[in-house]
Structure 1
Amino acid sequence: MKPFDPASALSARTSAIEEIAIIAMAQKARELKAQGADVVSLTIGEPDFDTPAAIRQATVDAMNAGFTHYAPIAGYPELRAAIADRLNQDNAIPVEPAGVVLSNGAKQALTNACFATLDAGDEVILIAPFWAAYEGIVKMAGGVPVIVSAGADTAFKPTIEQVAGAMTDRTKLIMLNSPSNPSGAVWNADELQALAGLVQSHPRCLVLSDEIYEDIWFEERPTSIASLPGMFERTITVNGFSKAYAMTGWRVGYSASCEPLAKAISKVQGTFTAGGNAFAQQGALAAITGPRDGVDAMRASYHRRRDLIVSLLGDIPGIKVVSPPASFYVFPDISGLLGKAAGNTRLETDVEFCHWLLDEYHLATVPGSAFGGPGCIRLSFAAGDDDITTAMSRLAEAAATLV
């Protein structure tokens, strides 16, 4: 008998999931830093601010008050009610508290929604460039990703005809991310209305709308597709506290939908993890019901940084950049630098370019291929001005050496 190989016991679904490039590049950057290299990293989409003090204090108070036991599977009623009220007032989404399900971060809310709605072979439209985790989540839930691509020439948003052409009788979900990671693209009300008409013409299609960056906008506040006529019953809205309130480590996200969908989502959550962190939910309650000064101040800082990084990118020959109207990412097109030589090495792909940048210039970025956008790179400007300026100086220096 041959020696047992543990890898032979792995399921086909896990074997089909590739390592997320964001995590891989961030890990490589950390390893170089540990070796003493002066690495500037613009990889991870995480606010560089601390969670506001009032939220932290409310959480400490909650722990001292006994919020250290299991929480209800769908979340504490007072937090569900506060989220519903916020969505009613600010987003015009007519959700009831019973339609809100708290989760361990927005990523779990997305996963819950996919497991609650997808059967094996159901198709899910992903609009590229898209967040790297989407494809893996869909596959884990038994769905089939169908990719619709858009580039900088259309502000990273496909035409409605492109989306319509990708739909079949097996289409179950359209995953919408507005504002978008990695491009910062925002679908305006007219574009969302056209998409809504397409969805409503299909017998069973839903929208899974990831709105985690909705509070980080620079032009005008984004519209929620669930607020449009006839779309609440067709939409699962996902959001959380990580980005707007600088609470990434707290892992508090949520979904909002009509009650039949929410019950199914809660059933999935109860199977996988039960309720989310008890005292973190009390911090989230303080966040959503408290003053928004901190959120506004962080958004103003991101706005200024957006202008800085876009200006610096615009001065680098071979790079095209679309100024993002929201989020804290920019997704420049570096195809003008590809196919050129760096010493004895010719850089043919964005992946090779990013590894070269990190190895030779100690600048960590993420290849656009990880998001379904080859020929681009993602830069996070959730970083200080000095880091942004240094990073762009290194990028300009690197670009100038290519021949």
Structure 2
Amino acid sequence: MTAGNSKRAHSKTKPRKTARPEKYERGTRSYTMSHIRGKDTSIERMVRSFLFAKGLRFRKNDKRYPGHPDVVLPKYHTLVFVNGCFWHMHEGCPKSARIPKSNVEFWTAKLLRNRERDMRQHAELEADGWNVIVVWECELGKKTRDERLERLYHEIVDERNVRRDGIHAGRSQIETDSNRLVSDGGRRDTERGRNGSMGNTENSARPQMSHRAQIANPFRAMVFGALADEMIANGTDVVKLSLGEPDFGAPPAVHDAMREQYDGRPLPYTAAMGLPELRQAISDFYRDRHHVDVDPKRIAITAGGSTALLLSAALTVNDGDEVLIADPSYPCNRELVRAFGGKVVDVPTSAANRFHLTPELCKEYWSDRTKAVMITSPSNPTGTTIAFDTLKAVCDLARERGAWRIVDETYLDLADREPDGSEVKSVLACDPDAIVCSSFSKFFGMTGWRLGWMVVPEYALEAMDDLATNFFLCAHTPTQHAALACFTPETLAVCEERRQELLERRRIVVDGLSEIGLPLEVEPNGAFYAYFNIFSTGLDAWTFCERALKEAHVALTPGRDFGEATADTHVRLSYAASREALREGLKRIGDFVAKLRG
């Protein structure tokens, strides 16, 4: 027997892994399943080989599109996903019902998350005009393989002919949905349930919502906050550590200034770009605190930091433009980009790079459609700042390639001092033409007052003025006047005392999580968030937060809000609450985790 034959004979005697799936010990299963190939699987190669033999040419696993389609055929404007039935929960397939017997809650939530993500991504792609086809693992069995592959070929080629002849635009929504039901195992049924009247003849008189409304994601931090409020209203003692809302409130001088505004004086509109005195005060603040000179005319006052981000997207993004965003990051930024037709390119980050973009990551995910990079530093949800040298390198790269740099500095003045005692630098110190978004909500504690600002390149001022006028006319006049009190020496001293208090609260949280056995992978050095890994508890992040609220009466935010990279493994805790609330909340979390671990 030759060595090759010996090796083959030996391989035949190896037990099949599927013969003993339930014999893995706790933890080993998770490790094994996490190492299952995610791309270039045997069924993907089968589909690609068939299409190649048919003369079709394509790209594979293209990261520029949501979901990284397995096959991209630009000529036919078609994307093909080759899905495993278990991982993507193919409805009606026996494989999708085989949930592991251990950690049932974890796996059920994770798989539901996969299906929800698929639905969202496919809807987004279809809204952009792509023909999305799903080929299921079970369809590629020996008995049905040939028929399914031939049908796939015709779905691709015939769809192109339909589009070319203009028939596709005239199809009814019902017909389109029905045809897709055949190829995607019922995904549209679920989607119709989500979108209401879509394709439902009984509700044909009801107008359809826009695609942006259909694919918009909820802000789950607010969802958990609302659930907590409902429990509190019903008499349950809930510790709310879910929202980034300082418990200090606005400084006293700002309250006094606001009261003065309501003495009967007229309160007319201000200019769309804001009250001149306030723009000057912010300019002086940049000079005195961050040592950069900003012309007041480049500063626009907005109705909250969110409006600054919205205007930034409106100014920079066209249909099909791509924006690089760190994953995890603030969820609303993604929705704003999509609202203006842009494509969000989530760039997975990790503790190794402090959950921030790097030049290397940007180059990896860059394409000829990249229009902007969006950075939040300090970060929400991680509370980490981007190193200034890294920030400069990313901005230099984007500028050299003709892309916008949008930097959210909402938490900048809550960041730790540099080793030499100086303030953390603004991006304007290295990139004067970056678009900067900021807010009075965090450092000044004015969350509900809804006031923010942005710094715009001089060459974009006229366009920004027009956008601001049309979108919201002007920010709230009394609040603009009251905000002038933020920049007095007395108020700035109050805000600095509060920043020091947040440092004490951070230490309570960092030490408390470590004692629980959920140590932080990287400690925050700005904002008021701790982002910790809960994978060791055996639950996914959503289930962990859901059960923590129901069983321990602590409100947290699941990683699902902030992107896919850490959706199931991480949870955000806000230490904007009082010391007493933090200690009580950590105690409850500790007891909850101890019960989970038995």
TM range (shorter): over 0.9
How far apart in 2 are the matches of 1:50 and 1:5?
Answer: 47
Alignment counterpart, residue 273 of structure 1, candidates 460, 469, 472 = 472
1:67-86 alignment, distance < 5 Å = 68-86=267-285
Aligned-pair distance for 1:169? 1.9
RMSD: 1.7
Amino acid at match of 1:35: N
SS in 2 for 1:283: helix
Aligned-pair distance for 1:134? 1.0
Contact 1:175 1:208 (8 Å CA) reproduced: yes
1:235-384 alignment, distance < 5 Å = 235-291=434-490, 292-338=492-538, 347=539, 349-372=540-563, 373-374=566-567, 375-384=569-578
Amino acid at match of 1:389: R
How far apart in 2 are the matches of 1:57 and 1:38?
Answer: 33
Amino acid at match of 2:424: P
Contact 1:313 1:321 (8 Å CA) reproduced: no
How far apart in 2 are the matches of 1:209 and 1:222?
Answer: 14
How far apart in 1 are the matches of 2:327 and 2:474?
Answer: 32
| 1:225 equivalent in alignment to 2:427 | yes
Aligned-pair distance for 1:57? 1.3
1:388 corresponds in structure 2 to 582
Alignment counterpart, residue 142 of structure 1, candidates 327, 341, 348 = 341
Amino acid at match of 1:300: Q
Q: Pick closer, same or farther for the CA change 1:36–1:89 going to 2, 3 Å.
A: same
How far apart in 2 are the matches of 1:318 and 1:249?
Answer: 32
In structure 1, the gaps of 5 or more residues are 339-346
Amino acid at match of 1:264: A
Contact 1:123 1:145 (8 Å CA) reproduced: yes
How far apart in 1 are the matches of 2:313 and 2:287?
Answer: 24
2:286 corresponds in structure 1 to 87
Q: Pick closer, same or farther for the CA change 1:290–1:279 going to 2, 3 Å.
A: farther
Q: Pick closer, same or farther for the CA change 1:86–1:320 going to 2, 3 Å.
A: closer
Aligned-pair distance for 1:323? 1.7
How far apart in 2 are the matches of 1:140 and 1:327?
Answer: 27
Q: TM-score, normalised by structure 2?
A: 0.63
Aligned-pair distance for 1:67? 5.2
Aligned-pair distance for 1:386? 1.2
Amino acid at match of 2:554: L
How far apart in 2 are the matches of 1:159 and 1:174?
Answer: 11
**1:251-285 deviation digits (Å, cap 9, x = unpaired):** 11011122222322221111111011111001111
How far apart in 1 are the matches of 2:461 and 2:214?
Answer: 30
2:410 corresponds in structure 1 to 212
Amino acid at match of 1:108: T
Aligned-pair distance for 1:321? 4.3
1:127 corresponds in structure 2 to 326
Aligned-pair distance for 1:136? 0.7
Aligned-pair distance for 1:4? 5.2
Contact 1:41 1:365 (8 Å CA) reproduced: yes
In structure 2, the gaps of 5 or more residues are 1-200
Amino acid at match of 1:40: V
SS in 2 for 1:64: coil
How far apart in 2 are the matches of 1:120 and 1:252?
Answer: 29
Amino acid at match of 1:75: G
How far apart in 1 are the matches of 2:586 and 2:322?
Answer: 40
Amino acid at match of 1:328: F
Amino acid at match of 1:360: E
How far apart in 2 are the matches of 1:154 and 1:116?
Answer: 29
| 1:34 equivalent in alignment to 2:228 | no
Task: State the number of aligned residues.
Answer: 389
- Structure (1 or 2) with the larger CA radius of gyration: 2
How far apart in 2 are the matches of 1:325 and 1:3?
Answer: 52
Contact 2:399 2:405 (8 Å CA) reproduced: no
Contact 1:103 1:109 (8 Å CA) reproduced: yes
1:47-196 alignment, distance < 5 Å = 47-64=246-263, 66=265, 68-196=267-395
Normalized per residue, which structure has more helix? 2
How far apart in 2 are the matches of 1:77 and 1:134?
Answer: 28
How far apart in 1 are the matches of 2:487 and 2:518?
Answer: 43
How far apart in 1 are the matches of 2:503 and 2:205?
Answer: 52
How far apart in 1 are the matches of 2:205 and 2:348?
Answer: 39
Aligned-pair distance for 1:199? 1.5
Contact 1:250 1:280 (8 Å CA) reproduced: yes
Contact 1:111 1:137 (8 Å CA) reproduced: yes
How far apart in 1 are the matches of 2:460 and 2:292?
Answer: 15
2:592 corresponds in structure 1 to 398
Contact 2:324 2:346 (8 Å CA) reproduced: yes
Amino acid at match of 1:224: S
**1:57-92 deviation digits (Å, cap 9, x = unpaired):** 122223337352212111011111121222233334
Percent identity, aligned pairs only, is 30
How far apart in 2 are the matches of 1:170 and 1:208?
Answer: 16
Aligned-pair distance for 1:3? 4.4
Contact 1:232 1:257 (8 Å CA) reproduced: no
SS in 1 for 2:533: coil
Aligned-pair distance for 1:319? 4.4
1:10 corresponds in structure 2 to 209
How far apart in 2 are the matches of 1:335 and 1:162?
Answer: 25
Aligned-pair distance for 1:201? 2.0
**1:22-75 deviation digits (Å, cap 9, x = unpaired):** 111111111111222111110110110121111111222233373522121110
Contact 1:104 1:251 (8 Å CA) reproduced: yes
Amino acid at match of 2:570: C
Contact 1:82 1:289 (8 Å CA) reproduced: no
Contact 1:256 1:262 (8 Å CA) reproduced: no
**1:153-209 deviation digits (Å, cap 9, x = unpaired):** 33222432111111122111111111111101111221122212212220x211111
SS in 1 for 2:413: coil
Aligned-pair distance for 1:126? 0.7
Q: TM-score, normalised by structure 1?
A: 0.92
Which of 210-219 and 311-320 deviates more? Answer: 311-320
